[in-house]
Amino acid sequence: MDSKSTSYETAINMSETESIKQKSSSAAPIIATTKTISHNQKGGWRRGVSIFDFILRLCALVTTLAAATTMGTTEETLPLFTQFFQFQASYDDLPAFSYFVVANAIASAYVVLSLPFSIVCIVRPHLVGAKLVLLILDTVMVAFTTAAASAAAAIVYLAHNGNSTTQWVAICQQFGDFCQRVSGAVVASFIAAFIFIILVVFSAVTLRRHN
């Protein structure tokens, strides 16, 4: 009886061991499949953010280029006087406007150079180095474009309203077209600065998700 019960218990233990091995071997592919799906979902999210980053850079290129070209081609001459005695308003008469043109031109060039890096981030969404470089340079562009737009906005405000304390006369009543163009350029530059801020936020969130 003892030998029979022992052999019976051994058979039960062997069958239980085999069933446990079968369960563990069948569970392994499920775990691997879950990890693969999770990895693909993260890669898809990062690629989507990179595509949105590329679109925002195209918008920033349009706005900075429009701001620079609009301001850089702004000039108006009053048609009330002869060719020997004329009143003329040009962007390069004011250093703030000249700085505005240079700053937005540099921002436009930077955006063009950053587009290949943005494309690389779309192709390889797990790449960290390129995103870190773009984050740093985008932050610089935020300060650059904001400073240029703010300096030009102060001059535009004085051109529209003047300043009685300093005897600065408002000139927009006479140079209406000039003021409209420089005002539009300033608005475009502020939009570009806002786009760069969005780019910085998205880059920071993406890098945070990598960790």
pLDDT tens-digit readout, 83-111: 555 566 777 888 899 999 999 999 999 99
Tell me the torsion sign for CA atoms 144, 145, 150, 156.
Answer: positive
What b/e readout covers 124-136, taking b as 16+ CB neighbours within 10 angstroms? ebebeebbeebbe
Domain assignment of residue 21, yes or no: no
| Tokens found for residue 37 | 């799906």
Domain assignment of residue 193, yes or no: yes
Is the pTM here over 0.85, yes or no? no
User: What pLDDT score was predicted for residue 174?
Assistant: 79
pLDDT score of 57 more than 60:
yes
Domain assignment of residue 205, yes or no: yes
Query: pLDDT averaged over the chain?
Result: 78
Domain assignment of residue 201, yes or no: yes
Helix (H, G, I), strand (E, B) or coil at 191: helix
Domain assignment of residue 200, yes or no: yes
- Confirm if 70 and 188 have CB atoms less than 8 A apart: yes
Domain assignment of residue 153, yes or no: no
Counted domains in the chain: 1
Domain that holds residue 62: 44-70+98-145+184-209
Domain assignment of residue 130, yes or no: yes
Domain assignment of residue 58, yes or no: yes
DSSP state of 164: T
User: What pLDDT score was predicted for residue 28?
Assistant: 41
